A and B are shown apart, each in its own frame.
Chain A
Amino acid sequence: MSARWAVVIFPGSNCDRDFVRALRDVLRVEVVEVWHKDSVPEAIDCIAIPGGFSYGDYLRAGALAAMSPVMASVRTHAERGTLVIGVCNGFQVLCEAGLLPGVLTKNDTLRFRCHDVYLRSELNGGPFAGTGLPQGEVLRLPIAHGFGNYYVPPEQRDAIERHVAFRYCDPLGDVSRRANPNGSVDNIAGVTNAAGNVLGMMPHPERAVEALLGGTDGLRILQAMQDWVAGVRAG
Protein backbone atom coordinates (compact mmCIF):
# COMPACT_ATOMS: atom_id res chain seq x y z
CA MET A 1 0.00 0.00 0.00
CA SER A 2 1.29 3.43 -0.84
CA ALA A 3 1.91 6.19 1.66
CA ARG A 4 -0.73 8.78 2.47
CA TRP A 5 0.60 12.29 1.95
CA ALA A 6 -0.39 15.70 3.25
CA VAL A 7 0.69 18.95 1.58
CA VAL A 8 0.45 21.96 3.91
CA ILE A 9 -0.73 25.21 2.31
CA PHE A 10 -0.10 28.65 3.76
CA PRO A 11 -1.34 31.90 2.23
CA GLY A 12 1.58 32.77 -0.04
CA SER A 13 2.66 29.17 -0.69
CA ASN A 14 3.28 28.90 -4.41
CA CYS A 15 4.82 25.47 -4.91
CA ASP A 16 1.89 23.68 -3.23
CA ARG A 17 0.16 22.84 -6.50
CA ASP A 18 3.46 21.64 -7.99
CA PHE A 19 4.00 19.32 -5.04
CA VAL A 20 0.47 17.98 -5.21
CA ARG A 21 0.84 17.37 -8.94
CA ALA A 22 4.19 15.57 -8.52
CA LEU A 23 2.66 13.28 -5.90
CA ARG A 24 -0.74 12.75 -7.45
CA ASP A 25 0.04 12.62 -11.18
CA VAL A 26 3.60 11.31 -11.26
CA LEU A 27 4.04 9.25 -8.07
CA ARG A 28 0.32 8.40 -8.15
CA VAL A 29 -0.26 8.53 -4.41
CA GLU A 30 -3.07 9.73 -2.21
CA VAL A 31 -2.69 13.41 -1.22
CA VAL A 32 -4.67 15.65 1.10
CA GLU A 33 -4.22 19.42 1.03
CA VAL A 34 -4.15 20.92 4.52
CA TRP A 35 -4.97 24.62 4.97
CA HIS A 36 -2.83 26.52 7.46
CA LYS A 37 -5.74 27.06 9.84
CA ASP A 38 -6.43 23.31 10.05
CA SER A 39 -4.52 20.31 11.41
CA VAL A 40 -2.77 17.53 9.55
CA PRO A 41 -5.03 14.46 9.90
CA GLU A 42 -3.86 11.55 12.06
CA ALA A 43 -3.65 8.96 9.33
CA ILE A 44 -0.86 10.54 7.35
CA ASP A 45 2.54 9.00 6.60
CA CYS A 46 4.36 11.85 4.87
CA ILE A 47 3.99 15.63 5.17
CA ALA A 48 5.32 18.09 2.58
CA ILE A 49 5.83 21.75 3.43
CA PRO A 50 6.09 23.41 0.00
CA GLY A 51 7.98 26.43 -1.23
CA GLY A 52 6.74 29.95 -1.80
CA PHE A 53 6.43 33.07 0.27
CA SER A 54 4.26 32.03 3.21
CA TYR A 55 2.61 35.12 4.70
CA GLY A 56 4.64 37.15 2.20
CA ASP A 57 7.80 36.18 4.10
CA TYR A 58 7.09 39.21 6.25
CA LEU A 59 9.23 39.52 9.38
CA ARG A 60 11.59 36.72 8.22
CA ALA A 61 11.25 33.96 5.65
CA GLY A 62 9.14 31.23 7.25
CA ALA A 63 8.87 32.98 10.62
CA LEU A 64 5.12 33.64 10.59
CA ALA A 65 4.26 30.26 9.07
CA ALA A 66 6.19 28.58 11.89
CA MET A 67 3.62 30.05 14.33
CA SER A 68 0.54 29.05 12.35
CA PRO A 69 -2.05 26.60 13.76
CA VAL A 70 -1.16 23.79 11.35
CA MET A 71 2.42 23.63 12.61
CA ALA A 72 1.35 22.28 16.00
CA SER A 73 0.06 19.16 14.26
CA VAL A 74 3.18 18.96 12.08
CA ARG A 75 5.26 19.02 15.25
CA THR A 76 3.19 16.23 16.83
CA HIS A 77 3.55 14.14 13.69
CA ALA A 78 7.29 14.81 13.52
CA GLU A 79 7.78 13.70 17.13
CA ARG A 80 5.85 10.56 16.37
CA GLY A 81 8.08 9.65 13.45
CA THR A 82 5.93 10.76 10.49
CA LEU A 83 8.17 11.71 7.56
CA VAL A 84 8.29 15.47 6.95
CA ILE A 85 9.95 17.12 3.95
CA GLY A 86 10.24 20.90 3.75
CA VAL A 87 11.41 22.37 0.47
CA CYS A 88 12.72 25.92 -0.02
CA ASN A 89 10.29 28.08 1.99
CA GLY A 90 9.25 24.82 3.68
CA PHE A 91 12.86 24.33 4.83
CA GLN A 92 12.82 27.89 6.20
CA VAL A 93 9.56 27.17 8.03
CA LEU A 94 10.97 23.99 9.62
CA CYS A 95 14.08 25.84 10.82
CA GLU A 96 12.00 28.70 12.21
CA ALA A 97 9.75 26.16 13.95
CA GLY A 98 12.78 24.57 15.60
CA LEU A 99 12.16 21.22 13.94
CA LEU A 100 15.49 21.52 12.15
CA PRO A 101 18.75 23.15 13.26
CA GLY A 102 20.15 26.35 11.76
CA VAL A 103 18.71 29.27 9.82
CA LEU A 104 18.55 30.38 6.20
CA THR A 105 19.79 33.87 5.48
CA LYS A 106 20.11 36.01 2.35
CA ASN A 107 22.15 34.52 -0.47
CA ASP A 108 25.72 35.80 -0.39
CA THR A 109 25.23 36.97 -3.99
CA LEU A 110 22.45 39.24 -2.63
CA ARG A 111 20.26 38.07 -5.51
CA PHE A 112 17.48 35.58 -6.03
CA ARG A 113 18.88 32.60 -7.95
CA CYS A 114 16.94 30.24 -10.18
CA HIS A 115 18.91 27.53 -12.01
CA ASP A 116 19.87 23.87 -11.76
CA VAL A 117 22.46 22.81 -9.20
CA TYR A 118 24.24 19.53 -8.50
CA LEU A 119 23.91 17.91 -5.08
CA ARG A 120 25.95 15.18 -3.46
CA SER A 121 23.85 12.95 -1.27
CA GLU A 122 25.36 12.52 2.21
CA LEU A 123 22.51 10.29 3.36
CA ASN A 124 23.48 6.83 4.46
CA GLY A 125 20.24 4.97 3.81
CA GLY A 126 17.22 6.08 5.83
CA PRO A 127 13.79 7.36 4.83
CA PHE A 128 14.96 9.93 2.27
CA ALA A 129 17.53 7.75 0.47
CA GLY A 130 16.72 4.10 1.10
CA THR A 131 18.67 1.84 -1.17
CA GLY A 132 17.92 3.74 -4.40
CA LEU A 133 20.01 6.77 -3.56
CA PRO A 134 23.48 5.67 -2.41
CA GLN A 135 25.75 7.96 -0.41
CA GLY A 136 27.93 10.07 -2.71
CA GLU A 137 25.43 9.93 -5.57
CA VAL A 138 25.13 13.19 -7.53
CA LEU A 139 21.67 14.62 -8.26
CA ARG A 140 20.68 17.55 -10.49
CA LEU A 141 17.84 19.65 -9.09
CA PRO A 142 16.63 23.23 -9.58
CA ILE A 143 16.93 25.97 -6.99
CA ALA A 144 14.83 29.15 -6.81
CA HIS A 145 15.45 31.24 -3.72
CA GLY A 146 16.73 34.50 -2.33
CA PHE A 147 17.26 33.22 1.22
CA GLY A 148 19.04 29.89 0.94
CA ASN A 149 22.27 30.67 2.75
CA TYR A 150 22.29 27.98 5.45
CA TYR A 151 23.98 28.90 8.70
CA VAL A 152 24.67 27.16 12.00
CA PRO A 153 27.01 28.57 14.63
CA PRO A 154 30.50 26.98 14.68
CA GLU A 155 29.86 25.25 18.01
CA GLN A 156 26.94 23.32 16.50
CA ARG A 157 28.66 22.24 13.31
CA ASP A 158 30.02 18.97 14.66
CA ALA A 159 26.63 18.08 16.06
CA ILE A 160 24.82 18.53 12.75
CA GLU A 161 27.54 17.02 10.58
CA ARG A 162 25.97 13.55 10.86
CA HIS A 163 22.64 15.01 9.77
CA VAL A 164 23.73 16.77 6.60
CA ALA A 165 21.61 15.33 3.79
CA PHE A 166 22.87 17.11 0.67
CA ARG A 167 25.75 19.38 -0.28
CA TYR A 168 26.10 21.60 -3.34
CA CYS A 169 28.74 20.12 -5.61
CA ASP A 170 29.98 20.22 -9.19
CA PRO A 171 28.72 17.72 -11.80
CA LEU A 172 31.42 15.25 -10.73
CA GLY A 173 30.46 15.41 -7.05
CA ASP A 174 33.27 17.66 -5.90
CA VAL A 175 32.06 19.92 -3.07
CA SER A 176 33.77 23.17 -4.06
CA ARG A 177 33.32 26.83 -3.24
CA ARG A 178 32.40 27.47 -6.88
CA ALA A 179 29.52 25.01 -6.65
CA ASN A 180 27.97 26.81 -3.69
CA PRO A 181 25.21 29.08 -5.05
CA ASN A 182 24.34 30.99 -1.90
CA GLY A 183 27.15 30.90 0.65
CA SER A 184 25.75 28.06 2.76
CA VAL A 185 28.11 26.84 5.44
CA ASP A 186 29.98 23.72 4.31
CA ASN A 187 27.91 23.80 1.06
CA ILE A 188 24.92 22.44 2.98
CA ALA A 189 21.81 22.21 0.79
CA GLY A 190 19.70 20.02 3.08
CA VAL A 191 19.70 18.64 6.62
CA THR A 192 17.64 16.23 8.68
CA ASN A 193 16.72 16.31 12.35
CA ALA A 194 18.57 14.06 14.78
CA ALA A 195 15.90 11.38 14.51
CA GLY A 196 16.25 11.41 10.74
CA ASN A 197 12.55 11.70 9.88
CA VAL A 198 12.43 15.44 9.10
CA LEU A 199 14.28 16.73 6.03
CA GLY A 200 14.68 20.31 4.89
CA MET A 201 16.30 21.24 1.59
CA MET A 202 16.54 24.33 -0.61
CA PRO A 203 16.55 22.58 -4.03
CA HIS A 204 13.18 21.49 -5.40
CA PRO A 205 12.71 17.73 -5.85
CA GLU A 206 9.06 18.29 -6.83
CA ARG A 207 10.21 20.31 -9.86
CA ALA A 208 12.37 17.47 -11.16
CA VAL A 209 9.92 14.63 -11.69
CA GLU A 210 9.33 14.76 -15.46
CA ALA A 211 11.80 14.46 -18.33
CA LEU A 212 9.76 16.98 -20.34
CA LEU A 213 10.67 19.67 -17.81
CA GLY A 214 14.36 18.82 -17.70
CA GLY A 215 15.01 16.02 -15.20
CA THR A 216 13.66 13.34 -12.87
CA ASP A 217 16.21 13.23 -10.05
CA GLY A 218 13.68 14.63 -7.58
CA LEU A 219 11.66 11.45 -7.92
CA ARG A 220 14.44 9.48 -6.28
CA ILE A 221 13.92 11.31 -2.96
CA LEU A 222 10.12 11.13 -3.06
CA GLN A 223 10.22 7.47 -4.11
CA ALA A 224 12.57 6.66 -1.22
CA MET A 225 10.00 8.12 1.18
CA GLN A 226 7.31 5.98 -0.42
CA ASP A 227 9.41 2.85 -0.15
CA TRP A 228 10.32 3.60 3.47
CA VAL A 229 6.67 3.89 4.48
CA ALA A 230 5.87 0.65 2.66
CA GLY A 231 8.79 -1.05 4.42
CA VAL A 232 7.70 0.16 7.86
CA ARG A 233 4.18 -1.03 7.18
CA ALA A 234 5.45 -4.41 6.07
CA GLY A 235 7.21 -4.49 9.42
Chain B
Amino acid sequence: MRRHVIEMVHAAGSGHPGGSLSSADIVTALFFEVMEHSPELESSQDRDHFILSKGHAAPVYYAALAESGYFPVEELITLRQLHSRLQGHPSRVKTPGVEMSTGSLGQGLSVANGLALALRSQGLGRTVYCLCGDGEMAEGQVWEAAMFASHYHLDNVIAIVDRNGLQIDGRTEDVMALEPLGDKWRAFGWNVLFMDGNDMWQVLETLEEARRHKGSPTVIIARTVKGKGVSFMENNVGFHGKAPNDKEYEQAMRELGGSA
Protein backbone atom coordinates (compact mmCIF):
# COMPACT_ATOMS: atom_id res chain seq x y z
CA MET B 1 0.00 0.00 0.00
CA ARG B 2 2.75 2.44 0.96
CA ARG B 3 4.72 1.61 -2.17
CA HIS B 4 1.61 2.34 -4.26
CA VAL B 5 1.31 5.72 -2.56
CA ILE B 6 4.93 6.62 -3.31
CA GLU B 7 4.70 5.43 -6.90
CA MET B 8 1.48 7.33 -7.57
CA VAL B 9 2.62 10.59 -6.05
CA HIS B 10 6.01 10.35 -7.74
CA ALA B 11 4.40 9.64 -11.12
CA ALA B 12 1.97 12.51 -10.68
CA GLY B 13 4.68 14.91 -9.54
CA SER B 14 2.26 16.24 -6.92
CA GLY B 15 -0.10 14.99 -4.23
CA HIS B 16 -0.10 14.29 -0.52
CA PRO B 17 2.19 11.45 0.59
CA GLY B 18 2.36 12.34 4.31
CA GLY B 19 -1.27 11.80 5.29
CA SER B 20 -1.60 8.75 3.04
CA LEU B 21 1.37 7.08 4.74
CA SER B 22 0.17 7.93 8.25
CA SER B 23 -3.24 6.36 7.60
CA ALA B 24 -2.06 3.42 5.44
CA ASP B 25 -2.39 0.85 8.23
CA ILE B 26 -5.90 2.01 9.13
CA VAL B 27 -7.08 1.96 5.51
CA THR B 28 -5.48 -1.45 4.97
CA ALA B 29 -7.19 -2.87 8.07
CA LEU B 30 -10.57 -1.51 6.97
CA PHE B 31 -10.45 -2.62 3.34
CA PHE B 32 -8.79 -6.01 3.75
CA GLU B 33 -10.03 -7.24 7.12
CA VAL B 34 -12.77 -5.23 8.79
CA MET B 35 -15.26 -4.05 6.19
CA GLU B 36 -17.49 -6.32 4.19
CA HIS B 37 -17.38 -4.87 0.70
CA SER B 38 -16.54 -5.79 -2.87
CA PRO B 39 -16.93 -4.38 -6.38
CA GLU B 40 -19.90 -6.73 -6.86
CA LEU B 41 -21.64 -5.23 -3.83
CA GLU B 42 -20.97 -1.63 -4.86
CA SER B 43 -24.52 -0.89 -6.01
CA SER B 44 -25.99 -2.48 -2.87
CA GLN B 45 -26.41 -0.63 0.43
CA ASP B 46 -26.13 -3.92 2.31
CA ARG B 47 -22.38 -3.74 2.93
CA ASP B 48 -20.04 -1.63 5.03
CA HIS B 49 -19.24 1.89 3.87
CA PHE B 50 -16.22 4.17 3.90
CA ILE B 51 -16.03 7.96 3.64
CA LEU B 52 -12.61 9.58 3.33
CA SER B 53 -13.20 12.94 4.95
CA LYS B 54 -9.51 13.81 4.63
CA GLY B 55 -9.82 13.71 0.86
CA HIS B 56 -6.17 14.58 0.28
CA ALA B 57 -5.30 11.04 1.38
CA ALA B 58 -6.75 9.93 -1.97
CA PRO B 59 -3.59 7.96 -2.95
CA VAL B 60 -3.94 5.44 -0.13
CA TYR B 61 -7.71 5.20 -0.78
CA TYR B 62 -7.10 4.48 -4.48
CA ALA B 63 -4.47 1.90 -3.59
CA ALA B 64 -7.01 0.11 -1.38
CA LEU B 65 -9.73 0.27 -4.04
CA ALA B 66 -7.42 -1.01 -6.78
CA GLU B 67 -6.13 -3.87 -4.63
CA SER B 68 -9.78 -4.68 -3.81
CA GLY B 69 -10.59 -5.00 -7.51
CA TYR B 70 -12.61 -1.83 -8.15
CA PHE B 71 -10.24 -0.87 -11.00
CA PRO B 72 -6.91 -2.15 -12.35
CA VAL B 73 -3.83 -1.64 -10.20
CA GLU B 74 -2.01 -0.43 -13.32
CA GLU B 75 -4.32 2.57 -13.39
CA LEU B 76 -2.91 3.92 -10.11
CA ILE B 77 -0.06 5.81 -11.77
CA THR B 78 -2.55 7.88 -13.79
CA LEU B 79 -3.29 9.84 -10.59
CA ARG B 80 -3.89 13.53 -11.30
CA GLN B 81 -3.47 13.20 -15.06
CA LEU B 82 -5.89 14.77 -17.52
CA HIS B 83 -8.83 12.40 -18.18
CA SER B 84 -7.69 10.00 -15.44
CA ARG B 85 -10.42 8.47 -13.29
CA LEU B 86 -8.17 9.16 -10.31
CA GLN B 87 -8.67 12.79 -9.40
CA GLY B 88 -6.41 14.66 -6.99
CA HIS B 89 -9.20 14.32 -4.43
CA PRO B 90 -11.81 11.52 -4.42
CA SER B 91 -14.72 11.90 -6.80
CA ARG B 92 -17.87 9.80 -6.55
CA VAL B 93 -18.74 10.45 -10.18
CA LYS B 94 -15.34 9.49 -11.61
CA THR B 95 -13.87 6.60 -9.67
CA PRO B 96 -15.35 3.13 -9.16
CA GLY B 97 -15.70 2.39 -5.46
CA VAL B 98 -15.49 5.98 -4.26
CA GLU B 99 -18.64 6.63 -2.27
CA MET B 100 -18.34 10.32 -1.77
CA SER B 101 -16.53 13.26 -3.31
CA THR B 102 -14.39 14.92 -0.68
CA GLY B 103 -11.54 17.39 -0.51
CA SER B 104 -13.08 20.45 1.08
CA LEU B 105 -12.27 19.51 4.65
CA GLY B 106 -14.71 18.98 7.49
CA GLN B 107 -17.58 17.61 5.39
CA GLY B 108 -17.15 13.85 5.49
CA LEU B 109 -18.60 13.17 8.91
CA SER B 110 -21.91 14.83 8.02
CA VAL B 111 -22.10 12.59 4.97
CA ALA B 112 -21.26 9.52 7.06
CA ASN B 113 -24.09 10.46 9.42
CA GLY B 114 -26.59 10.80 6.60
CA LEU B 115 -25.52 7.48 5.15
CA ALA B 116 -25.80 5.87 8.58
CA LEU B 117 -29.34 7.21 8.94
CA ALA B 118 -30.25 5.81 5.53
CA LEU B 119 -28.86 2.39 6.46
CA ARG B 120 -30.71 2.42 9.76
CA SER B 121 -33.99 3.38 8.09
CA GLN B 122 -33.56 0.47 5.69
CA GLY B 123 -32.99 -1.88 8.61
CA LEU B 124 -29.42 -2.65 7.56
CA GLY B 125 -27.03 -3.30 10.43
CA ARG B 126 -24.07 -1.94 8.53
CA THR B 127 -21.30 0.38 9.65
CA VAL B 128 -20.05 3.62 8.12
CA TYR B 129 -16.36 4.27 8.72
CA CYS B 130 -15.23 7.87 8.34
CA LEU B 131 -11.52 8.66 8.22
CA CYS B 132 -10.79 12.24 9.26
CA GLY B 133 -7.62 14.26 9.47
CA ASP B 134 -6.63 15.93 12.70
CA GLY B 135 -6.09 19.32 11.08
CA GLU B 136 -9.67 19.29 9.81
CA MET B 137 -10.95 19.13 13.39
CA ALA B 138 -10.67 22.93 13.22
CA GLU B 139 -13.62 23.00 10.81
CA GLY B 140 -16.83 23.94 12.62
CA GLN B 141 -18.93 21.52 10.58
CA VAL B 142 -17.10 18.59 12.22
CA TRP B 143 -18.61 19.59 15.54
CA GLU B 144 -22.05 20.19 14.06
CA ALA B 145 -21.82 16.63 12.77
CA ALA B 146 -20.51 15.37 16.10
CA MET B 147 -23.55 16.85 17.84
CA PHE B 148 -25.91 15.38 15.24
CA ALA B 149 -24.51 11.84 15.46
CA SER B 150 -24.88 11.64 19.21
CA HIS B 151 -28.32 13.31 19.15
CA TYR B 152 -29.55 10.61 16.77
CA HIS B 153 -27.62 7.81 18.55
CA LEU B 154 -25.78 6.80 15.39
CA ASP B 155 -23.85 3.86 16.79
CA ASN B 156 -23.30 2.66 13.24
CA VAL B 157 -20.88 5.54 12.64
CA ILE B 158 -17.22 5.05 13.50
CA ALA B 159 -15.02 8.09 13.00
CA ILE B 160 -11.26 7.63 12.98
CA VAL B 161 -9.05 10.66 13.47
CA ASP B 162 -5.62 10.29 11.88
CA ARG B 163 -3.82 12.11 14.68
CA ASN B 164 -0.45 12.63 13.01
CA GLY B 165 -0.08 15.99 14.69
CA LEU B 166 0.95 17.91 11.59
CA GLN B 167 -0.87 20.13 9.13
CA ILE B 168 0.33 22.28 6.24
CA ASP B 169 1.54 25.20 8.31
CA GLY B 170 3.15 23.14 11.07
CA ARG B 171 2.22 21.26 14.25
CA THR B 172 -1.52 21.15 14.92
CA GLU B 173 -0.91 22.37 18.44
CA ASP B 174 0.88 25.44 17.10
CA VAL B 175 -1.50 26.22 14.24
CA MET B 176 -4.78 25.60 16.09
CA ALA B 177 -4.55 23.56 19.27
CA LEU B 178 -6.85 20.53 19.39
CA GLU B 179 -6.05 19.01 22.76
CA PRO B 180 -7.64 17.70 24.85
CA LEU B 181 -9.20 16.15 21.74
CA GLY B 182 -10.66 13.07 23.44
CA ASP B 183 -12.40 15.23 26.04
CA LYS B 184 -13.95 17.32 23.29
CA TRP B 185 -15.47 14.26 21.60
CA ARG B 186 -16.57 12.85 24.96
CA ALA B 187 -18.30 16.13 25.75
CA PHE B 188 -20.18 15.78 22.47
CA GLY B 189 -21.54 12.41 23.59
CA TRP B 190 -19.20 10.09 21.72
CA ASN B 191 -17.58 6.86 22.85
CA VAL B 192 -13.87 7.69 22.60
CA LEU B 193 -11.13 5.13 21.97
CA PHE B 194 -7.41 5.60 21.42
CA MET B 195 -4.97 3.50 19.47
CA ASP B 196 -1.59 3.47 17.85
CA GLY B 197 -2.75 3.85 14.27
CA ASN B 198 0.47 2.40 12.89
CA ASP B 199 0.25 -0.82 14.93
CA MET B 200 -1.86 -3.24 12.89
CA TRP B 201 -2.91 -5.43 15.83
CA GLN B 202 -4.05 -2.44 17.84
CA VAL B 203 -5.88 -1.06 14.82
CA LEU B 204 -7.77 -4.32 14.30
CA GLU B 205 -8.60 -4.75 17.97
CA THR B 206 -9.78 -1.17 18.41
CA LEU B 207 -11.93 -1.24 15.27
CA GLU B 208 -13.56 -4.43 16.59
CA GLU B 209 -14.17 -2.81 19.97
CA ALA B 210 -15.71 0.21 18.25
CA ARG B 211 -18.00 -1.99 16.17
CA ARG B 212 -19.27 -3.74 19.28
CA HIS B 213 -20.15 -0.51 21.06
CA LYS B 214 -23.86 0.32 20.99
CA GLY B 215 -25.93 3.36 21.90
CA SER B 216 -23.63 6.14 20.75
CA PRO B 217 -21.19 6.85 17.92
CA THR B 218 -17.55 5.97 18.42
CA VAL B 219 -14.48 7.99 17.56
CA ILE B 220 -11.05 6.42 17.51
CA ILE B 221 -8.21 8.84 17.95
CA ALA B 222 -5.36 7.14 16.14
CA ARG B 223 -1.89 8.31 17.04
CA THR B 224 0.09 8.06 13.84
CA VAL B 225 3.34 9.25 12.32
CA LYS B 226 2.98 11.46 9.31
CA GLY B 227 4.97 10.00 6.42
CA LYS B 228 5.21 6.66 8.28
CA GLY B 229 7.54 4.14 6.65
CA VAL B 230 9.80 6.55 4.77
CA SER B 231 12.54 7.87 7.01
CA PHE B 232 12.88 11.32 5.49
CA MET B 233 9.13 11.84 5.28
CA GLU B 234 8.37 10.82 8.85
CA ASN B 235 7.20 13.75 10.94
CA ASN B 236 8.29 16.03 8.14
CA VAL B 237 5.59 18.57 7.39
CA GLY B 238 7.37 19.32 4.11
CA PHE B 239 5.90 16.11 2.71
CA HIS B 240 2.30 16.93 3.56
CA GLY B 241 1.63 17.93 -0.03
CA LYS B 242 4.86 17.41 -1.95
CA ALA B 243 5.96 14.60 -4.25
CA PRO B 244 9.40 13.00 -3.86
CA ASN B 245 11.99 13.73 -6.54
CA ASP B 246 13.62 10.84 -8.43
CA LYS B 247 16.35 10.32 -5.87
CA GLU B 248 13.94 10.50 -2.94
CA TYR B 249 11.60 8.17 -4.75
CA GLU B 250 14.31 5.52 -5.13
CA GLN B 251 15.26 5.76 -1.48
CA ALA B 252 11.62 5.63 -0.35
CA MET B 253 10.93 2.52 -2.42
CA ARG B 254 14.04 0.83 -1.04
CA GLU B 255 13.01 1.62 2.53
CA LEU B 256 9.56 0.19 1.83
CA GLY B 257 11.08 -3.05 0.62
CA GLY B 258 10.43 -2.56 -3.06
CA SER B 259 12.37 -1.63 -6.11
CA ALA B 260 12.19 1.72 -7.81
A and B associate in one complex? no
Interface residues of A (CB under 8 A from B): none
Interface residues of B (CB under 8 A from A): none
